[in-house]
């Protein structure tokens, strides 16, 4: 009797992986170039016509694509049958966990929004139930059959442990790491729908890359600066996560080894210098020493939230506010320069509340980055505010799920963490 050797299983696993990747590739090409023929797909992918036929057959069986009649041909031969994405046949749900609310949307195969919902004020201990309710409401509102959902994307503002799908820490939601079961509760409830949990900055960066810039500008990073500093890295049109899934922790890159303590346990991380709380802390200290100026007066009045007082003082060109913002710009430039030297990435996007500091801030960052970079490519580095602005995580999550429709979820759990 012939028995399978362990290597045969490896070969079968590899074949399956190749097939899943090819199905994803063909689906994405149809999505991009529709209507398109099998012949053109074979030409674009360099796969054999037989392989393309069998992949397309599977996509047709799963109702992800459809045939839409004959296309044009230059020769007198048979006109090819054209293929299109079967836009309303399958759907994805994309969710985002925020500090004050959970939001989500339902999207069709062309990433058009079908339904959108938010649930405000939730209890961290009940996050699992909150996300389940949000999904149920989205399914209800979209009036779709739950068997037609291909997956759920879940954007989280924190570092994820991919071994047990829990959150290690979050600078945005202080107690998020204390809820160890929300992912499991969500997967148990929707056991037949795969759930892709990812750091929110990765989804935001993916939206910026694929939707705002149509993937035309190559590799990019998006640095999101609010309460913390998040960062998503896009390399070769895909989210880059490194070996353990935590790549992109730019906020915890050391800029000043003698600097302030950071929540991560180290000193002088970028986050301790450029996050909104860090900027306000530095400005308050400087204003306290000077005891004068617009910011100092607004702080004494206590009429406005602290960030709003600071912004007003900055717009009024208060010296303390200006110095603080320019200092943050310089520190951010150090972080960007480190990232550029490490990854050779030319496109850097900046999003979050830091963008309120406008042209003066971004120009200072650009100028400083240019002064630090190698002459060879200094002019090529583009630092700009995000095109999409806020609220891109849900859209980016949906887009990412759709672009990776057949790809197996990367298994960080088996990499010896």
Name all contacts of 353-356 with Cβ < 8 Å and 24+ positions apart. 353/225, 353/226, 353/276, 353/307, 354/225, 354/226, 354/274, 354/276, 354/328, 355/385, 355/386, 355/389, 356/311
Closest approach, Cβ 35 to Zn ion, in A, equals 51
**Of 255 and 299, which has the nearer Cβ to Zn ion?**
255
Closest approach, Cβ 271 to Zn ion, in A, equals 6
Interaction pattern, residues 241-260, with Zn ion; x per rule: CB under 5 A? -----------x--------
Residue listed under structure tokens 């880059």: 240
- DSSP symbol at 261: B
- Measured on CA atoms in the order 162, 166, 168, 174, is the torsion positive or negative? positive
Asked if 264 is part of the footprint of Zn ion (rule: CB under 5 A), the reply reads yes
**Of 281 and 312, which has the nearer Cβ to Zn ion?**
281
Asked if 40 is part of the footprint of Zn ion (rule: CB under 5 A), the reply reads no
How far apart (Å, rounded) are the C-alpha atoms in residues 322 and 326? 6
Interaction pattern, residues 274-313, with Zn ion; x per rule: CB under 5 A? ----------------------------------------
C-beta separation of 22 from 45 below 8 A: yes
Closest approach, Cβ 136 to Zn ion, in A, equals 37
Closest approach, Cβ 90 to Zn ion, in A, equals 41
Q: 116 pairs with which residues across the strands? A: 105
Measure Cα distances from 189 to 11, 70, 147 in Å: 34, 43, 13
Among 154, 255, 262, 278, binds Zn ion (CB under 5 A): 262
Asked if 90 is part of the footprint of Zn ion (rule: CB under 5 A), the reply reads no
**Of 255 and 283, which has the nearer Cβ to Zn ion?**
255
Q: Where are the beta strands (DSSP E) in 226-274?
A: 229-235, 238-239
Size of the site for Zn ion (CB under 5 A): 5
Asked if 186 is part of the footprint of Zn ion (rule: CB under 5 A), the reply reads no
**Of 255 and 362, which has the nearer Cβ to Zn ion?**
255
**Of 271 and 403, which has the nearer Cβ to Zn ion?**
271
Q: 83 pairs with which residues across the strands? A: 36, 67
Asked if 269 is part of the footprint of Zn ion (rule: CB under 5 A), the reply reads yes
Q: Applying CB under 5 A, which residues contact Zn ion?
A: 252, 262, 264, 266, 269
């Amino acid at each position: 009797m012939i028995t399978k050797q362990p290597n045969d299983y490896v070969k079968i696993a590899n074949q399956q992986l190749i097939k899943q990747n090819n199905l994803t590739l063909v689906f994405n090409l149809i999505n991009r170039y529709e209507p398109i023929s099998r012949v053109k797909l074979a030409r674009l992918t360099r796969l054999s016509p037989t392989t393309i036929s069998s992949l397309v057959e599977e996509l047709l069986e799963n109702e992800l694509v459809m045939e839409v009649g004959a296309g044009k041909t230059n020769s007198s031969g048979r006109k090819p049958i054209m293929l299109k994405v079967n836009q309303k046949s399958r759907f994805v749900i994309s969710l985002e966990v925020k500090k004050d609310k959970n939001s989500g949307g339902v999207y069709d195969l062309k990433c058009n929004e079908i339904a959108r919902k938010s649930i405000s004020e939730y209890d961290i201990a009940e996050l699992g139930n909150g996300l389940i309710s949000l999904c149920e409401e989205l399914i209800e509102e979209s009036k779709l059959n739950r068997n037609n959902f291909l997956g759920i994307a879940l954007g989280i503002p924190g570092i994820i442990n991919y071994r047990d799908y829990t959150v290690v820490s979050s600078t945005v939601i202080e107690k998020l790491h204390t809820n160890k079961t929300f992912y499991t509760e969500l997967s148990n409830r929707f056991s037949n729908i795969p759930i892709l949990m990812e750091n929110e900055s990765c989804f935001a960066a993916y939206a910026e890359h694929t939707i705002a810039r149509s993937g035309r500008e190559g590799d990019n990073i998006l640095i999101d600066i609010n309460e913390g500093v998040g960062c998503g890295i896009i390399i070769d049109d895909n989210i880059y996560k490194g070996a353990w899934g935590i790549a992109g922790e730019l906020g915890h890159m050391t800029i000043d080894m003698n600097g302030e303590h950071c929540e991560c346990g180290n000193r002088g991380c970028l986050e301790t210098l450029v996050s909104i709380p860090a900027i306000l802390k530095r400005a308050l200290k400087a204003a306290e020493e000077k005891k004068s100026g617009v910011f100092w007066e607004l702080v004494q009045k206590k009429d406005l939230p602290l960030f709003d007082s600071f912004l007003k003082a900055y717009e009024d060109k208060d010296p303390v506010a200006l110095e603080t913002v320019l200092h943050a710009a310089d520190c951010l430039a150090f972080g960007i320069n480190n990232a550029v030297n490490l990854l050779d990435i030319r496109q850097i996007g900046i999003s979050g509340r830091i963008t309120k500091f406008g042209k003066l801030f971004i120009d200072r960052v650009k100028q400083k980055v240019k002064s630090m970079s190698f002459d060879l490519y200094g002019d090529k580095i583009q630092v700009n505010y995000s095109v999409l602005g806020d609220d891109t995580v849900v859209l980016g999550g949906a887009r990412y799920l759709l672009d990776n429709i057949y790809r197996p979820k990367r298994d960080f759990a088996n990499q010896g963490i």
